[in-house]
Structure 1
Amino acid sequence: MSQAEKFDPTARIYAAQEAYLAIEQQPQDKAEKQLLEQARRYVQAHSHQNDLRDLAGPIRKLMGNAYQVGCGGSHIWIKRTPADAGPRSPERLAVVADRLTTAYRDWFEPRVPGGPRRSIRTEQGLPIAGVAITTSTPTR
């Protein structure tokens, strides 16, 4: 940080972010798998960031022209270029996000069960469609 930035009252200050890379699609071949693993190692080596989007340039350089790398508000996405992607081109290949605020998963990890969960205190829980309401006291 430069001296001017330290004393500039309008300087943007970001909360600390812990970067991680989640590979959301299965790699097409061994070369793509190695490239994504290199990107993962780079992100792990630079995981503590003030602005996660600062990693976009180095990742873009690492991935090369066969991939599109872009930024969102607080994440970086990686896609295959349309010529290389085939029918799955609009889908994101990988994402770099903040571990403190997101929970993206790799393509091979099991999905977390979704949907409403019953409260352990059934007398205080809201009704769930199709589930009978009971008044028994739960055991712990």
Structure 2
Amino acid sequence: MARTDGGDDTSVYVTRGLVEMLLERAAETEPAQENLVLDSTPASDFEADLGVEPSTTVLSHVYFPMAGRAVSDVFGVDLGTPAGRGRARFLSHPQGPAELTRRDDLAGVVLLAVPPWETLLAFDRRGRSLNLTVVDAEPPAESVPE
């Protein structure tokens, strides 16, 4: 996401794998809109040197809305996203526009895709455009404790 070290950089960092997955998903679900919660990994957790401050967060994961859906539908509580996570969101606008609208679910950072599903745009919650930097790195493997 945006830098957390106090710099003026308005760049959002995202892994190439996540970008590809999000664009594919938007194309597959068209004409329906997509709305997914994204999560990040600190640059210091990657094996590769990303060329950014270690505290810089890199969008690397997605939480699918199916997890915890029954509880969310009844009580409005999203159990599919761990507490304190998901401060970014991915949206698709199959009919446009290539900007945030009043009807969009917002987050600190919003990645937006519009047809022909070839690139993502990044915005802050106020709809201001942010630079999007794609990094060629895989996030660290995660495992579930036994």
TM-score normalised by L of structure 2: 0.26
Of the two structures, which has the highest relative contact order with CA contacts closer than 8 Å and spacing of 6 or more? 2
Structure with more helix by fraction: 1
Structure with more strand by fraction: 2
